[in-house]
Structure 1
């Protein structure tokens, strides 16, 4: 699973020039005129992107950067559209043709496509680059909703009929009761209650992939809550073999999008510990691997190194 971190793209994406662009610019198709939107999938352009940014204060916005000539884009885009529509207005998908909208492509630094980035309250967060399988898309969307809730973005888009203009709220897919309980707990910042709800869901169905993904994410959020990065780094530097001190920094690194740093720290720790003290580090690595996803090249490289240290 790809990581979702509001800090990961900070400084890497500059959308300031698009925030105040007039929505009535020539050729700009309005996303929303302050009322209901007619679809949860919209075409975003250099001219109307300011409206997209505003909508990201109500719901998380997924930005799909694509091009007509891009084969992987044609594989990924229908999956993203499908998952977005299933969420019934809790997410908006903004599709950006990079050839037709060079300013957006430059702002997002789209060096390769498909590239998918989210916006939460106007702030960009990473999702994934390249075509990924549907289950990974679902996992990352679940993470996105959790992070959006953590940042107070929990709205639902008011929908209107494209022809009549009458508002019609879409029916949201009903969450299983324990999942709904977990989401409610996350929204109020009670991560321990969310953990309990997901654990109950897994006791009922150990193969519940959404519960597995949600549990891993909320455990990480719970662990980093209240941690100070500078203090954690100082403690880890003072005690290089203190497992908990290294765990704290690795968790903060992962939450901040520094995946390789987190894995490298724990693998270095694993290599230095006596054999009978390694188990907790291995278990934490496996847990973090699950958050990022088995197919991620960073996970593959870290697993290979872990295997070489084990055998």
Structure 2
């Protein structure tokens, strides 16, 4: 999740959460949304955050203030703490940049001592840690305070990565438009939320059978089928595969585990290596499995493009 430009998540939040591996934000959904008291840093009763540009986030309002708003503009989650002076100073820099961003992104401040589970969900190891969230999923992150010039470049990269993929900021004069949920997708996502992967696959497949060009259903079917497959994989498969490179099934299982652990480069490299050193049916099977993993991503994703080039070299 360290670079802008990651693939946009599937329509289903349940699919995205299940596929997110180490970064699972689904635990913060459907919580109460009562906002926390505003942070007062001026000492005179004034709130330092510019209205709308900076928000205070806890576990209770994480869904409404981060996950939902990130469908409009990137939400920059600043995980720090008032007890850490470097974090306090860095937060002031971020708030200043947020005020000047004109609504292109929102700063969400999280106090690690108040909301430790948010820090745990993001795998935070030190503060400050900053994570860009777009469409409900982590897009890019960094640790430690950064110079303002470098921050500006990073924000520009984030905005470029989501250009045309989010709905944009809602102005005060805009009337909120209630999205009508497709009951077919609701049924599929309900099954997924309940852990019934077979029912979810069947529900998504029903949509796809009726609408063969429905990209959302097609992506969901691929992802849920992968989730179902990886559930049956032995957690020790990676070590076993490394010890027995000639065992094709172990290599497939290890690649699935690496993919699920958000290590797509490792999964791709493993299967490309199998393609390069095998022949005949084994080579064809490894290529087919690799192409299946490619389909879990946007075809324009840089890691997929790079892996396809390496696959071409391995084939020829």
TM-score normalized with structure 2 length: 0.57
Deviation, structure 1 residue 266:
1.0
Q: Would the aligned equivalents of 1:8 and 1:126 in 2 still touch at CA under 8 Å?
A: no
Change (3 A) 1:59 1:263: farther
2:220 corresponding residue in structure 1: 214
1:116 to 133, 140, 157: 133
Alignment of 1:89-168 (within 5 A): 95-96=106-107, 107-109=128-130, 115-116=132-133, 126-127=138-139, 130=158, 131-132=160-161
Q: C-alpha distance in 2, partners of 1:68/1:29?
A: 8
Quote the offset at 1:6 in angstroms: 4.3
**Mean Cα deviation higher: 276-285 or 207-216:** 276-285
Q: Which residue is 2:206 aligned to?
A: 200
After superposition, the Cα gap between the structure-2 partners of 1:280 and 1:55, relative to the gap in structure 1 and judged at 3 Å, is: farther
d(CA) in 2 for partners of 1:288, 1:247: 11
Distance in 2, matches of 1:283 and 1:137, equals 33
Q: 2 CA distance for matches of 1:192 and 1:30?
A: 47
Q: 2 CA distance for matches of 1:195 and 1:175?
A: 16
Q: Is this contact kept in 2: 1:253–1:262, CA < 8 A? A: yes
Alpha-carbon spacing, 1:236–1:204, altered in 2? closer, same or farther (3 Å): same
2:50, 2:98 → 1: CA distance?
Answer: 21
Distance 1:267 1:116, change over 3 A: same
Q: Does 1:49 align with 2:25?
A: no
In 2, the alpha carbon distance for the partners of 1:135 and 1:246 equals: 38
CA contact under 8 A between 1:2 and 1:293: conserved in structure 2? yes
**TM-score, normalisation: structure 1:** 0.58
Question: How many residues were matched structurally?
Answer: 222
Residue 186 (structure 1) aligns with: 192
